Amino acid sequence: MTKLSVNINKIALIRNAREGNLPDIFKIAQDIEHYGADGITVHPRPDERHILYSDIPVLKKIVTTEFNIEGFPSDRFMKLVIDNAPHQCTLVPDPPDVLTSNTGWDTIKNQNLLKDIIQQLHEKKIRVSIFLNPVEELVYAAKETGTDRIELYTGPYAQKYSKNKKEAISLYIKAAKIAKKIGLGLNAGHDLNLDNLKYFNENIPWLDEVSIGHALISDALYYGLHNTVQMYKNLLVH
């Protein structure tokens, strides 16, 4: 069964609209685990518009499933990750002013940078995943960086799914098969939702993990958080 990691950035965004800790993201993280999620993901950005850097040590102490911190490996981000040693660090090539993640790494041009960053993380026994577009040569180049996994950026899949789902997933299947062949673990994330998740998971049944935040939290407004986590989990059963 593919694991579900829930990104709680949007919960933190609501909290930050007012002073204080309402909603309480720490209790919600624990509740999400209790409701059946296999992990908690956060993506602290330089402007701290949702997850705060000060949230990370607290989450590190209370998360009992898998804790995944994702983001661009700036000096500040790297210190945060190394100091708190999550189970997994997902490296994302986000410039500081980007609204949301919108592409993966060029693992050819950034080969040396990624090798250095990954070595630092491995020294702290942190598993590493690289955010990646479904491009065959980039998957092969990702292997050379020393990463443990890749996370396929599924934004384009989600955009094309309603028009032609078979075409939408074709490049992802090719990239996933290469990752499997060369011994890379496989994650996926971005715009996966209740409509498109099951098809993606059925066609790439060796997925290790999906990370879902925006859609899941939006669905929770209608279905409730407990029900929503279970709905997403049910789509990941093979």
Which pLDDT value is given to residue 95? Answer: 67
Residue by residue, pLDDT tens for the chain (238 residues) are 999 999 999 999 999 999 889 999 999 999 999 999 999 999 999 999 999 999 999 999 999 999 999 999 999 999 999 999 999 999 999 866 655 567 899 999 999 999 999 999 999 999 999 999 999 999 999 999 999 999 999 999 999 999 999 999 999 999 999 999 999 999 999 999 999 999 999 999 999 999 999 999 999 999 999 999 999 999 999 7
Residues 6+ apart with CB under 8 A from 118: 91, 128, 145, 146, 147
Q: How far apart (Å, rounded) are the C-alpha atoms in residues 153 and 187?
A: 9
Q: How far apart (Å, rounded) are the C-alpha atoms in residues 215 and 194?
A: 8
Which pLDDT value is given to residue 238? Answer: 78
3-state secondary structure the chain: CCEEEEECHHHHHHHHCCCCCCCCHHHHHHHHHHCCCCEEEECCCCCCCCCCCCHHHHHHHHCCCEEEEEECCCHHHHHHHHHHCCCEEEECCCCCCCCCCCCCCCCCCCHHHHHHHHHHHHHCCCEEEEEECCCHHHHHHHHHHCCCEEEEECHHHHHHHCCCHHHHHHHHHHHHHHHHHHCCEEEEECCCCCCCHHHHHHHCCCCCEEEECHHHHHHHHHHCHHHHHHHHHHCCCC
At 235, which amino acid appears? L
Whether the CB-CB separation of 6 and 41 falls below 8 Å is answered with yes
Burial label for 40, CB within 10 Å (0-12, 13-18, 19+), is buried
- The predicted model scores a pTM of 0.95
Which pLDDT value is given to residue 96? Answer: 64
The CATH superfamily assigned to 3-234 is Aldolase class I (3.20.20.70)
List the catalytic residues: 43, 70, 190
